[in-house]
């Protein structure tokens, strides 16, 4: 059995700290906690670690190195801390302390106290933005003709909306009581009523949480010299929640980034449609139309900011457009920590077979290296990964869609990437 982590007495010289703009200040040997994850987690983590260490070693020749610290969640936490403790406090405090961490997928234990460990992690650490870059890796089989036209980063609000966990089953006393109150209010205003036997859920959305998400998206657009931020909402139907998301988003842009942003209307009225350098265009789209837009006019979109449910659907649809979740990176980011993660699940039927594609976790690691400011190492991984795919050396999921592919194991795919760094 592995030892428990020892959170006492950390060496602060190897800890990430934060500047006034909430950017990480990174030592040359940062301690970065990792959660292997359940199911296929250990396989994809082993491969990812080899690739990230290989790139850092090659680029910085020992001048920089990640000191990995294993922390536990899911099955391996329950083995060590007890069956009722899949997310120990030690794990949360290690992520808070070290600031940046990476994780494999986690099974949600059936009958446990959590709806989902991933949701619990996001809530406990206030990781309010789920960030999903979606760009095409040349050679990956994709369902559209020109997958390379899509290059967006989706900022999905992580803490509110119908994901808040506020719902009651049909016929329960709580549901009836709530619906009685709601019906009375609605009737008094001449509105509709609903059956007291309905299930009911609440969709909270706040100015504060919308504003911090949209700020993060605009900040990212500015730092990465992107052109636009699109607010995606269903405000035509849900006026006080999704509609308010749109209004608060525009308000945040105006009040916090007035000199650095402009609306689509201003772009045409004041600049005759010619994009002024250094300014971010803020626009909005209705969610259903946005699904069409990403397929039909993908190059018109850049950074996307959206509430939780829209973001959930849109991230997976966009990932599918460029070749699927097997290669889609992700991160959950807050003001004092960031957790990078594979976007797919634990694929239990492949657990321990060294078979699946580690691409999603490797590319999440790439995003982590960029977040640390280690861009040269990040670029090296991307170049080597592209070269490996172009050589048609791929895992089963891609091999079954590619002519003439050489199917390799998860670990062999990682090793091929490291070899291609040369």
Catalytic, 312? Answer yes
Q: What is the dihedral of CA 78, 364, 154, 387, to 10 degrees?
A: -150
Name residues contacting ligand NAP, limited to 214-233 (CB under 6 A).
Answer: none
Q: Kindly state the number of chain residues that form the binding site for ligand NAP, as judged by CB under 6 A.
A: 19
Query: Residue 282 and residue 275: Cα distance in Å, rounded?
Result: 12
269, burial (CB in 10 Å: exposed 0-12, middle 13-18, buried 19+): exposed
Q: Is 344 in the site for ligand NAP (CB under 6 A)?
A: yes
DSSP annotation of 231? E
Is the Cβ of residue 307 or residue 359 nearer to ligand NAP in the bound state?
A: 359
Catalytic residue, candidates 103, 234, 354, 396:
234
Q: Is 397 in the site for ligand NAP (CB under 6 A)?
A: yes
Candidates 101, 106, 214, 304; binder of ligand NAP (CB under 6 A) is 106
Query: Residue 360 and residue 385: Cα distance in Å, rounded?
Result: 11
Is the Cβ of residue 56 or residue 356 nearer to ligand NAP in the bound state?
A: 356
- Concatenate the DSSP letters of all residues of 126-155 into one string: T--EEEEEEEPPTT---SSS-GGG-EEEEE
Both tokens of residue 227?
């052109």
Is the Cβ of residue 57 or residue 386 nearer to ligand NAP in the bound state?
A: 386
Q: Is 357 in the site for ligand NAP (CB under 6 A)?
A: yes
Which string of x and - marks every residue 86-105 that binds ligand NAP (by CB under 6 A)? -------------------x
Catalytic residue, candidates 288, 335, 349, 375:
288
Q: Is 107 in the site for ligand NAP (CB under 6 A)?
A: yes
Single out the residue of 69, 52, 93 nearest to residue 14, CA to CA: 69
Cα–Cα distances in angstroms (integers) from residue 363 to residues 102, 203, 218, 326, 384, in the given order: 11, 32, 23, 10, 12
Q: Of all residues in the chain, what percent are helix, strand and coil, respectively (each to 5)?
A: 45, 15, 40
Q: Which stretch binds ligand NAP (CB under 6 A): 15-23, 64-72, 160-168, 338-346?
A: 338-346
Q: Is 414 in the site for ligand NAP (CB under 6 A)?
A: no
Which string of x and - marks every residue 318-337 that binds ligand NAP (by CB under 6 A)? --------x-----------
Catalytic, 84? Answer no
Both tokens of residue 340?
């990078």
Instruction: Please report how close the Cβ of residue 44 comes to ligand NAP at its closest, in angstroms.
Output: 6
Single out the residue of 345, 343, 309, 310 nearest to residue 325, CA to CA: 343
Q: Is 242 in the site for ligand NAP (CB under 6 A)?
A: no
Single out the residue of 63, 81, 61 nearest to residue 71, CA to CA: 81
Q: Is 43 in the site for ligand NAP (CB under 6 A)?
A: no
Q: Which residue is nearest to ligand NAP (CB)?
A: 345
Q: Which stretch binds ligand NAP (CB under 6 A): 78-86, 88-96, 274-282, 339-347?
A: 339-347
Is residue 414 classed as helix, strand or coil in its secondary structure? helix
Q: Which of left, alpha, beta for 85 (phi over 0: left; psi -120 to 50: alpha)? A: beta
Catalytic residue, candidates 81, 163, 220, 350:
163
Both tokens of residue 407?
């199917």
Instruction: Please report how close the Cβ of residue 84 comes to ligand NAP at its closest, in angstroms.
Output: 18
Q: Is 36 in the site for ligand NAP (CB under 6 A)?
A: no
Catalytic, 375? Answer no
Candidates 346, 364, 388, 420; binder of ligand NAP (CB under 6 A) is 346
Is the Cβ of residue 106 or residue 377 nearer to ligand NAP in the bound state?
A: 106
Q: Looking at the annotation, which residues are catalytic?
A: 163, 234, 288, 312
């Amino acid at each position: 059995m592995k030892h428990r982590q020892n959170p006492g007495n950390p060496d602060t010289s190897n800890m990430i700290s934060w500047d006034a703009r909430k950017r990480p200040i990174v030592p040359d040997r940062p301690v970065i906690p990792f959660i292997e994850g359940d199911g296929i987690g250990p396989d994809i983590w082993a491969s990812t670690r080899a690739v990230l260490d290989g790139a850092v070693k090659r680029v910085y020749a020992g001048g920089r190195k990640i000191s990995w610290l294993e922390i536990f969640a899911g099955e391996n936490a329950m083995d060590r801390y007890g069956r009722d403790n899949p997310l120990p406090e030690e794990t949360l405090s290690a992520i808070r302390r070290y600031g940046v961490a990476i994780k494999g997928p986690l099974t949600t234990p059936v009958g446990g106290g959590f709806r989902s460990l991933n949701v619990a992690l996001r809530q406990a650490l206030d990781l309010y933005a789920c960030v999903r870059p979606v760009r095409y890796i040349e050679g990956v089989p994709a369902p559209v003709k020109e997958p390379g036209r899509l290059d967006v980063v989706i900022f999905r609000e992580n803490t509110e909306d119908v994901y808040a966990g506020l719902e009651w089953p049909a016929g329960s006393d709580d549901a009836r009581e709530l619906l009685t109150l709601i019906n009375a209010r609605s009737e008094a205003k001449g509105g509709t009523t609903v059956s007291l036997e309905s299930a009911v859920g609440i969709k909270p959305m706040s100015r504060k949480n919308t504003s911090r998400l949209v700020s993060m998206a605009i900040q990212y657009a500015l730092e990465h010299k992107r052109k636009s931020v699109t607010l995606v909402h269903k405000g035509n139907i849900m006026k006080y929640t999704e509609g308010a998301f749109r209004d608060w988003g525009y308000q945040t842009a105006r009040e916090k980034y007035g000199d650095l942003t402009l609306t689509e209307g201003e772009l045409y009225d004041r600049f005759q449609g010619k994009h002024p350098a250094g300014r971010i265009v803020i626009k909005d789209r209705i969610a259903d139309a946005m699904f069409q837009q990403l397929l039909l006019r993908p190059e018109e979109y850049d950074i996307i900011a959206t509430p939780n449910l829209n973001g959930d659907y849109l991230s997976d649809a966009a990932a599918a457009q460029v070749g699927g979740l097997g290669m889609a990176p992700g991160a959950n980011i807050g003001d004092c920590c960031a957790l990078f993660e594979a976007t797919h699940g634990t694929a239990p039927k492949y657990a321990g077979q060294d078979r699946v594609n580690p691409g999603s976790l490797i590319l999440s690691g790439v995003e982590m290296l960029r977040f640390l400011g280690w861009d040269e190492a990040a670029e090296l991984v991307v170049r080597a990964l592209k070269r490996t795919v172009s050589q048609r050396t791929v895992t089963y999921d891609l091999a079954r869609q590619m002519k003439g592919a050489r199917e390799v194991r998860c670990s062999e795919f990682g090793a091929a990437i490291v070899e291609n760094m040369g």
